[in-house]
Each structure stands twice: as C-alpha cells, then as structure tokens.
Amino acid sequence: MAPDIWIADTFGIDSDSLTTITHRLVVLAIVLLVAFGVNLFCRKVVIRVIHRVTSATTTKWDDYLLSDKILRNACSLIPPIIIYFFIPIVLEGCETALSYVLKLLQLYIIVLIIRLLCSFLEGLYRAGSEEEGLRHHPLRGLYQMFKLIAIGIGVIIGISTLLDKNPITILTGLGASAAILMLVFKDTILGLVAGVQLSANSMLHDGDWITIPSRNVNGIVKEVTLTTVKVQNYDNTIVTVPPYALVSESFQNWRGMQQSGGRRVMRSLNIDMNTIRFCTPEEMERYEELGWLEGFTRTGHAEVNLHVFRNYVERYLASHPDVNTAMMIMIRQLQPTANGLPVELYFFTDGTEWKAYEYTQAAIFDHVIAMINEFGLKIFQSPTGDDITRSIYRQ
C-alpha cells in the first residue's frame, strides 16, 4: 500500500487534502532549506571574507563595526526574513494561521533587529574608547542611553505589531501613565538627562580627578554610566554618585590643573613681628657679597630685612628648576594676626604629579625656613614646654 493511501485511511484524511498538506510540507521544507542554507553560507564564507578585508586595513574602526558578533547577528536575520516572504505560499488559504505566523515572525525580526542595533552600538562604543580624542569622554553613559532608546523603540513597535495598533497610539497611552513611569524610572531618566549634559558640556571624563566634599568624594573617575559615576578615592575606596547630583550640585574638577602643566602652591609663614627691623650697612654688604641682592631695587633709604628676605625668596623661586616660571610667582604679606605677620609664597610647580608636587614644595620650604634666620627674622610659633623651661631658668 502506498504511504499516502495508508495515511489517508488511518487518519481519515481526504486524498485531495493529503495532497495539499504534502505540497505545503514540501514547499516549507524548501523554504527552510534555502533560508538556513543562505544563513550558513554567509556565516562560513561571507563573514570570513569580510574579516580578511578588515584585518588587512590599518584602521581599527572597521574591526569593531564589522566584528564577528555584529556580522553573526546580521546573518541571523536572513532565515526569518526569507520565511516571512515565502510563508504565504505555504499557508495559502489558511488566513488565520497565516496571520498568527506572520505576527510571530514580525516580532522575532524586531527582536533580532534590536539585538543587531545594540551590538552595533557596542561596537561604536568600543571603537570610540580606543580613539585618543574620545577615550576620556563618558562614552559608556551615551552608549547605555542609545541602547535604552533602541530597546524602548523596539518594545513600542513590538507591542503595536502585536495589537495591530499605530505606534503613536501606544505612545499616547504611555503619556497618560507618564507620572507612574517617571516614579519607577526616576533615576534612569535623571541619569539620562544628566549624562547628556555632562557629555555635551565636557564636564566630566574618565580619568578626571574630582572632589565633592559633601559626598566624601576625592579621587579619580573610573566609570560614568546612566545611573552612577564611579570614583576611586585616594584611600582606594570606591564611591558611587548619581550623575544628576553632579549637575544639580557643584563639584570641583582638577582636569584644568592637570592639563596646564603646573600645580599651585599657596602656603604662608608667620613672621614674628618683633624681629622685623632695618638692615645695617654691614648686613647689606654681606648680602651683596653672597649674591642675595640680585635683582633687588634699592629704595635709597634703610632697607627692611623682611623686604630683602621677600626679594631673596622670589629670586630663589624664579631660579628653581622645579618651579614653573611661566606661571605667577608672588611673595605677599597678608593681614597681621595675633600669631604674627603671614608671608605667603604663591607659585606653581613644574608638573602636576602628586608625589613630585609634595616633594618640591617641601624642599622649597625647608630651604626658606632654614634661610630666614640669615635675615634676622624668626618664625612665630606658640611656646612649647622647652621654651617655658628655658625662660624660667634664665630668670
């Protein structure tokens, strides 16, 4: 007995209907074979050819934008698209089944397109992260923002396809529930807006040193995302701050200092005002012999030892190899206090590295403190136990 006759007798199917079913199955098999055959050809041949071309170029962008992940996601679109165009032939006359199958295929194609778009955005992010001019920009936050937008658009289109509604109608419905959506996704929405502001105004980059005293932040920015800014403090603790806090509040970014090539030193020494006096001619002659009056403009009257000392310190800073002479060097007096007369040294080091900065300013103040007695001056300090003991013994 022929197989088609046996199937017809066993399941009670009319021979004409059986012929139709057999025809549909044959066509379906051919469609599936063609769809997955083309997919296999693209994966095994086309992708390899593209990889050979991209590897032969000197640019890195094509390596990321035509990566294996992106190309495979693109190839995965081929079978459902071929099936979508040929399935009406298979299900001719079965309108209800055809409508359900077409909807499922449309949803599946939308999911694959969103996946392809997300992988393409990831490739853009990775390529941008390798570029010197873009490396320090908060690209991760922008990548997450566009990825979220792409997924949101895909969800709206998918729902409209499933319900046979216009996407505008879906958006109108979402607008009615905007208050609930803003409450649920408050941090994401605020982070989205703040991320755009931070990027557009170049307020924050990866690798920047920022300080926010109110949030105990003093360190290097490690990562900027839609919802958090990750900062590694100098004590190696990790602090996370919401991006909108950086926009709504104030923070200090030290990037300008790092790019300027000089780091400011602004420290004072309190001079005992009882030691400020006029210099004797012998002292001025001695200073002249030692070269401490270089660049000193005489007033024609008796010179004050503090004036001579300030001139010496300014010349010393101007000749110091670790002081940035292209920036301001100034020695100034501040308002006298009960602790003496503050004399402030204002200058910039030649370099911004922290350890070198601390070493330079310490070495300079070591020298200045050691030299101050040579000008008949003394640094004011509160009396210690030894000072009180010596005072008692003198009496």
CA distance from start to end of the chain:
136
Q: Are 272 and 379 in contact (CB under 8 A)?
A: yes
Predicted structure pTM score: 0.59
What are the percentages of helix, strand and coil residues in the chain, rounded to 5?
Answer: 60, 15, 25
Interval 346-361: pLDDT, tens: 999 998 888 999 999 9
How far apart, in whole angstroms, are the C-alpha atoms of residue 143 and residue 224?
11
The number of distinct structural domains making up the chain is 3
Whole-angstrom distance, CA of residue 201 vs CA of residue 221: 17
Residue 350 lies in a domain: yes
Domain assignment present for 314? yes
Give domain status of residue 178, yes or no: no
96 and 125 part of one domain: yes
Q: Would residue 164 count as lying in a domain?
A: no
Domain that holds residue 207: 199-257
Contact between 57 and 65 (Cβ < 8 Å):
no
Q: Which residues, 6+ apart, have CB-to-CB distance to 198 below 8 Å?
A: 138, 141, 204, 224, 243, 246, 247
Residue range 58-94, pLDDT digits in tens: 777 777 778 888 888 888 888 888 888 888 877 777 7
Q: What is the pLDDT of residues 108-123, one digit of tens each?
A: 888 999 998 988 888 8
What is the Cα 375 distance to its own chain's centre? 52
- Whether residue 301 lies inside any domain: the answer is yes
Same domain, 326 and 357: yes
CATH number of the domain within which 215 lies: 2.30.30.60
Check the CA dihedral 254-256-258-263 and report its sign.
Answer: negative
Q: State whether 249 and 267 are in the same domain.
A: no
Q: How many CB atoms lie within 10 A of CB 47?
A: 18
Alpha carbon 193 to its chain centroid, in Å, reads 15
Taking the C-alpha atoms of residue 196 and residue 139, their distance in angstroms, rounded to an integer, is 10
Please say whether the beta carbons of 44 and 111 come within 8 A: no
